[in-house]
Amino acid sequence: IAGITQAPTSQILAAGRRMTLRCTQDMRHNAMYWYRQDLGLGLRLIHYSNTAGTTGKGEVPDGYSVSRANTDDFPLTLASAVPSQTSVYFCASSGTSGSGNEQFFGPGTRLTVL
């Protein structure tokens, strides 16, 4: 593994189904983030984790949950998917959550909820 990986690459999901998007990084970064990107809008933060064992809510957390059991993994779960959750989801990480730390992004997961 080099950098950040996400799985799956893309997914079509029926409304009401549960779905977990996976994210793994091998850079030993403390901070990790989940964003969604929709056409015409900037990246919007869903949830974040400043260090293993802690998580926080971002701008658009409703309908999503996360866990951070270890440094490397940061899965995002949609408990009961709805069509408005159709989006491209990016996982990112940074050395720390402080000023000046650039975020490195995974390749993204394209999710369609029907």
Type of residue at 1: I
- Least Cβ distance, residue 78 to another protein (angstroms): 20
Give which of 37, 32, 12 is closest to 22, Cα–Cα. 32
Q: Which of 79, 107, 112, 114 binds another protein (CB under 8 A)?
A: 107
Specify the stretch interacting with another protein by CB under 8 A; choose among 17-25, 41-49, 60-68, 74-82.
41-49
Q: Is there binding between residue 90 and another protein (CB under 8 A)?
A: yes
Q: Which of 47, 103, 111, 113 binds another protein (CB under 8 A)?
A: 103
CA-atom Rg of the chain in angstroms: 13
What is the SS3 assignment for 9-50? CEEEECCCCCEEEEEEECCCCCEEEEEEECCCCCCEEEEEEC
Q: Is there binding between residue 64 and another protein (CB under 8 A)?
A: no
Q: How many CB atoms are located within 10 Å of the residue 19 CB?
A: 18
Q: Is there binding between residue 108 and another protein (CB under 8 A)?
A: yes
Q: Is there binding between residue 41 and another protein (CB under 8 A)?
A: yes
Tokens in use for 2?
A: 């080099």
Q: Is there binding between residue 44 and another protein (CB under 8 A)?
A: yes
- Give the residues lining the site for another protein (CB under 8 A): 40-45, 48, 58, 90, 97-100, 102-108
